[in-house]
Chain A
Amino acid sequence: MSESELPDDNQLTLEQALINLQCEDLGLRIYAAWWLGRFRVKDSRAIALLINALADEADRTDAGGYPLRRNAARALGKLGDRSAVSALIRSLDCEDFYVREAAAQSLEMLGDIACVPKLLEMLNTPITSEVSGLESEQPFDAILEALGTLGAVETIPQILPFLEHPIPRVKYAAARAMYQLSSDPETAAQYGNILINALSNNDLQLRRTVLSDLGAIGYLGAAEAISNTMAENSLKLISLKGVLEKQIPLATPPDLTAGAVRVMALMDDLL
Chain B
Amino acid sequence: MSLSQLIQAVEEADSSRRLLEAVQNLANARLEGAIPTLIEALSYNNPGAAVAAVDGLILLGDPAVPALLELLDMHNYTARSWAIRALAGIGDPRGLVTLLGVATADFAFSVRRAAVKGLGLMKWHWFPDELREIAQEEALEALLFVAHQDDEWVVRYAAVVGLQALAMTIADTYPHWRSEIQSQLEQMANKEQTLAVRARVWLALKNIQHNIQPEAHTSINLEESEAKKSPLTPDDWQDILNKLYEIKSQERAENLEEGDPRRFQKLAAAIGKDQP
Interface string of A113-155 (1 = CB under 8 A from B): 0000000000000000000000000000000000000000000
Is the pair A244, B199 in contact by a Cβ cutoff of 8 Å?
A: yes
Contact A268 B216 (CB under 8 A): yes
A267 with B109, Cβ < 8 A, contacts A248-B199, A254-B202 known: no
A255 to B114, CA, bound (A): 27
Q: Is A254 a contact of B48 with CB atoms below 8 Å?
A: no
Question: Given the complex of chains A and B, what is the CA–CA distance between A2 and B48 in angstroms?
Answer: 11
Task: Flag A1-43 by CB within 8 Å of B: 1 or 0 each.
Answer: 1110100100000000000000000000000000000000000
With the chains together, A253 CA to B198 CA distance in Å?
10
Among A1, A238, A244, A254, point to the contact of B50 (Cβ < 8 A). Answer: A1
Rounded to whole angstroms, the CA-CA distance of A269 and B151 in the bound complex is 21
Q: Which of A53-61, A90-98, A172-180, A256-264 sits within the interface?
A: A256-264
Query: Could you pull out 10 A-B pairs where Cβ atoms are within 8 angstroms?
Result: A237-B154, A244-B199, A245-B199, A254-B202, A254-B206, A267-B157, A267-B200, A269-B216, A271-B113, A271-B154
Partner of B154, one of A2, A234, A256: A234
**Interchain CA distance A238-B218 in the complex, whole Å:** 21
Instruction: List chain B residues, Cβ under 8 A from A230.
Output: 48
B253 CB–A CB distance under 8 Å: no
| B203 / chain A contacts, CB cutoff of 8 Å | 256, 261, 264
Q: Does A81 contact B (CB under 8 A)?
A: no
Question: In the complex, A130→B216 CA distance in Å?
Answer: 46
B25 to chain A minimum Cβ distance, whole angstroms, is: 15
How far is the CB of B158 from the nearest CB of chain A, in Å? Answer: 5
> Which residues of the partner chain A approach B218 to less than 8 Å between Cβ atoms?
269
B205 near A233: Cβ-Cβ < 8 Å? no
Closest to A249 in B: B195
B interface residue count range (under 10 / 10 to 19 / 20 to 34 / 35 or more): 35 or more
The answer, yes or no, to whether A241 is at the interface (CB within 8 Å) is yes
**Does A1 contact B214, Cβ atoms closer than 8 Å?**
no
Q: A232 within 8 Å of B by Cβ?
A: yes
User: With a CB–CB cut-off of 8 A, which chain B residues contact A8?
Assistant: 151
Instruction: Report the bound CA distance from A5 to B78 in whole Å.
Output: 14
Residue of A nearest to B159 (CB): A271
Shortest Cβ distance from residue B189 to the other chain A in the assembled complex, whole angstroms: 7
Evaluate contact between A234 and B199: CB separation under 8 angstroms: no
Chain A residues with CB under 8 A of B202: 253-256
B196 at the binding interface (Cβ < 8 Å): yes
Given contacts A237-B154, A254-B206, contact A1 B110 (CB under 8 A): yes
Given the complex, which residues of B lie within 8 Å of A233, measured CB to CB?
51, 110
With A and B bound together, what is the CA distance between A91 and B218 in angstroms? 51
Contact B117 A271 (CB under 8 A): yes
Q: Which residue from chain B places its CB closest to the CB of A253 in the assembled complex?
A: B202
B196 x A241 contact (CB < 8 A):
yes
* Per-residue A-contact encoding for B25-55, CB less than 8 Å = 1, 0 else: 0000000000000000000000110110000
